Amino acid sequence: MFQDLVAFVAQLQCTLLDIHTLLDYVEILHPLLASPPSKPVHANPTWMGCFTRNTKICEGLYFVGVPVWLVHNEEFIPLTMNIIHPVWLTFPDSIVRVMYSERGVRKPFPSIFHGPGSLLHHYHTHQCYEGTLAE
């Protein structure tokens, strides 16, 4: 039952964040992307930002105020690109990996997908909660 409740709350939070993101995109980003500013807009500190390997996407998002990280080898970055702070990618050791348990029995959530992520994979692995809260 506890695992079902956790999954339900997580699904609700995910859906609400998707709606909030879509509204921010429609109200703020789409107008800026349709007519890009001549100089960069200040980054919105409430946005998480994104990672990209494409330099054109990186520059476009930077100019409209999206925090963006370019994941690229240094030798392939154009000389015209403004790199504020280069960062080495490392494994985040501070993340706690806990298994959910019910009455002392471990019940981890199954992995839905293994491999590189993309928007297409997000849609294919995104599934609505199908459990029941009343047993």
Helix/strand/coil percentages in the chain, nearest 5: 40, 5, 55
Residues 35-79 have pLDDT tens digits of 888 888 888 888 888 888 888 888 889 889 998 888 888 788 778
Of 91, 84, 92, 79, nearest to 68 (Cα)? 84
Question: What is the value of pTM for the model shown?
Answer: 0.54
Percent of the chain's residues with pLDDT above 70: 67
Average pLDDT over residues 103-129: 64
